A and B are shown apart, each in its own frame.
Chain A
Amino acid sequence: MVPVLELDNLRVQLGRREILKGLSCRLGVSEGGGRAIGLLGPNGAGKSTLIQTMLGFHAPLSGTAKLFGFDCHRQPKEVRARLGYMPENDSFIANMTAVAFLRMMGELSGMPRGAALEKAHETLFHVGLGEARYRQLGTYSLGMKQMAKLAQAIIHGPELVILDEPTNGLDPAARLRMLTLIHEIKATHKMNVLLCSHLLHDVEETCDEVLILKDGRIVHHANLEEERRSNRRFVELELGGVTTGFAAALGTLGAAGVDEGEGRWRVVLPADIEIGALWRLAAERHLQVRKLTYRRDTLEEIFLKAVGHIRATPGDATKPPPLPVSPEEVTHGRL
């Protein structure tokens, strides 16, 4: 099965700086399209460079980037014919009406004149700009420009839509509308989506898998669908009393826990252990359970772990880069 995006030891250098340092992965492997891939990373991680390399704007130093099996550098036209791109910054032609702009973009993507005009109207209504479609783009508000950029990315029905920070500068209602549209693009119209965003919640709501970059390297690739399906239970505990040895006791259950200080613990229970076992363990050790909540591993946590901003939860499927560990911390049951 041909993946949407396949990177093979991709290295990209801009000037003297190596931005992407040997990326390898296969993303969006599924039948029938409609996969959404999130691209995350701190500023300067290489997200935009990766997108621009996929668009054929940068030549790789070595390795390959393939979209739908086509080499982004050697077969740029085949690649570009299959994708729509919504850039992060303002990109439009100020003195054109939205209809004329979309029609031109549709024709540039290979649509016949009549079909491009028809789709321009359809798409503008779809993104909520129907009433403003004869206004010049230069007069649009920021939110309207974002919608117009989305419209030009989907007018020709591409197989992959690359969205770079689509919710930037949108008010809550417009942001919700944008996320709904992205979801529709994926679920209803069966287009694949590559979403690059700093807003983890947006990615979590819309994406099936996520790729996290840091310093030009892939630090994590998570299948959010599987994460959502997983039956691992994450429990947050707040205990009163002396908790020394509690980590070891959790180990006897097959569970793992992290002491976050002041009696707060994060625990991962194996699938076959009931929550009652935790109550019994606390009772045996004369610990007071002040708070017990179930909690799933959020994308924010996955992200922060991946970029090394918080410690890993033991037993977690995600494998963050190793953090410096002192013997003292190990003694306290921390990783």
Chain B
Amino acid sequence: MAVYKRGYQRYEGPRTGTWDRLMVLPRFSWGQLMSQRLVIAVLIGAAFWPLLCGIFIYIANHIELLAGFGQGFQKFLAVDGSFFKTFMIVQSTFAIGLAAMTGPGLIAPDLTNNALPLYFSRPMSRWEYVLARMIVLAGMLSAITWIPGLLIFGMQVGMAGGDWFSKYWNLGLAVFLGFAMLVILASLVALASSAWVKWRVVAGALVLGFFFVLAGAAQMMNSIFRDSAGSLLNPLYLLGRLWAAMMGIDSPDESEPGLWACASALIGFCALMIVVLERKLRPVEVVK
């Protein structure tokens, strides 16, 4: 029967569970994001570097192709911690750009359109809402970070064999955990910026500012105070140090902050973003 002839009947059928309800927002958001050409372009652009790395690994593992080259060049082709760290740095730039582009569109429109009461009057808590929005970003960022990272690691293991794996197994773990840190931090920063300023363009700029302007500010502090404690304000430095430590290639100066300080600073940034979300994501604004 045609829907306009059927008339409204009260729904009394089965209800879905918590997980299904939680995934509703990500499904709709992914659908909307994937309809944007710019997002697709960034996702495609972010696939080039892993492709190049894959070619690099192929060449590095086919030594017969390199017979004419010198020893120095063959050393350059070594697939080790430095190779994976370089891979991660390049991909993290794409990830931050993607987070700045897509993150602000997740919460800001809900705040602008006063849609939060609609969400929170349904069986969904504020933290489930944040989690759902984080899943959107985590899904997008995973596609260009740890998933290609692990594919490349797997490709190297497949080509280099068990000896290489037994020596460098920690690189796979470092790629996954390192990118997970980035994804969590970038998602939280993007969501907090979106909740804080409501205006998408400014929120996007804030995300980029958090990662790149803070890095400059930290460098300036170090220069002024002739110290390296300012590096604790540089999220990229913090991530880089932790990645390097997990890969076993961390070689800091004595004056540089310790690993625990770096980890604590990173946790502090995440906590700050959670506080912003907690303060801003309320179904009603209470005028005290």
Q: Which A residues form the contact surface with B (CB < 8 A)?
A: 14-17, 52, 55-58, 76-77, 80-81, 83-85, 87, 89-95, 100, 104-112, 115, 118-119, 121-123, 125-126, 130, 152, 154-157, 162, 189-191
Contact = CB atoms under 8 A, between A and B. Distances in A.
Given A58-B286, A92-B113, A108-B123, 18 more contacts: A15-B286, A52-B283, A52-B284, A55-B283, A81-B123, A87-B114, A91-B114, A91-B115, A93-B113, A94-B109, A95-B32, A105-B118, A107-B16, A107-B21, A110-B16, A125-B3, A162-B121, A190-B10
5 contacts: A91-B114, A91-B118, A107-B24, A115-B13, A130-B3
A202 B210 CA distance: 52
Contact of B16 (A17, A111, A119): A111
B68 interface: no
A16 B286 CA distance: 11
Contacts of A15: 286-288
B16 A76 contact: no
Contacts of A156: 11
A112 B280 CA distance: 31
A109 B25 CA distance: 12
B120 interface: yes
A108 B286 contact: no
Given A108-B124, A125-B4, A189 B10 contact: yes
B14 interface: yes
B130 to A, nearest CB: 15
Given A77-B123, A111-B13, A152-B118, A95 B3 contact: no
Given A14-B288, A109-B123, A111-B16, A93 B115 contact: yes
B211 to A, nearest CB: 28
B120 A55 contact: yes
Interface residues of B, number: 40
B114 A80 contact: no
Given A14-B288, A55-B283, A85-B118, A157 B113 contact: no
B203 to A, nearest CB: 16
Contacts, number: 127
Contacts of A157: 10-12
B10 A121 contact: no
A92 B111 CA distance: 10
Interface string B1-25: 0011011111111111000110011
Interface in B143-194: none
Given A57-B284, A85-B121, A110-B123, A90 B114 contact: yes
A15 B110 CA distance: 25
A190 B8 CA distance: 13
Contacts of B4: 125, 130
Nearest to B28: A104
A76 B6 contact: no
In the complex, which of the residues A55, A91, A100, A157 has the most CB atoms of chain B within 10 Å of its own CB atom?
A91
Contacts of A87: 114, 117-118, 121
Contacts of B115: 91-93
B119 interface: yes
Nearest to B24: A107
A56 B282 CA distance: 11
Nearest to A181: B8
Contacts of B113: 90-94
B122 interface: yes
A108 B288 contact: no
Contacts of B118: 85, 87, 91-92, 105, 152
A110 B21 contact: yes
B264 interface: no
Nearest to A114: B13
Contacts of A105: 118, 122
Nearest to A122: B8
B14 A80 contact: no
Q: For the complex of A and B, list the 9 residue pairs with the smallest distance between their C-beta atoms, beginning with the closest.
A: A15-B288, A126-B8, A110-B15, A157-B10, A157-B11, A85-B121, A121-B3, A77-B123, A107-B24
Nearest to B4: A125
Contact of A122 (B7, B110, B125): B7
Given A57-B120, A125-B3, A14 B16 contact: no
Contacts of A162: 121
A166 to B, nearest CB: 15
A271 to B, nearest CB: 40
A154 B10 CA distance: 8
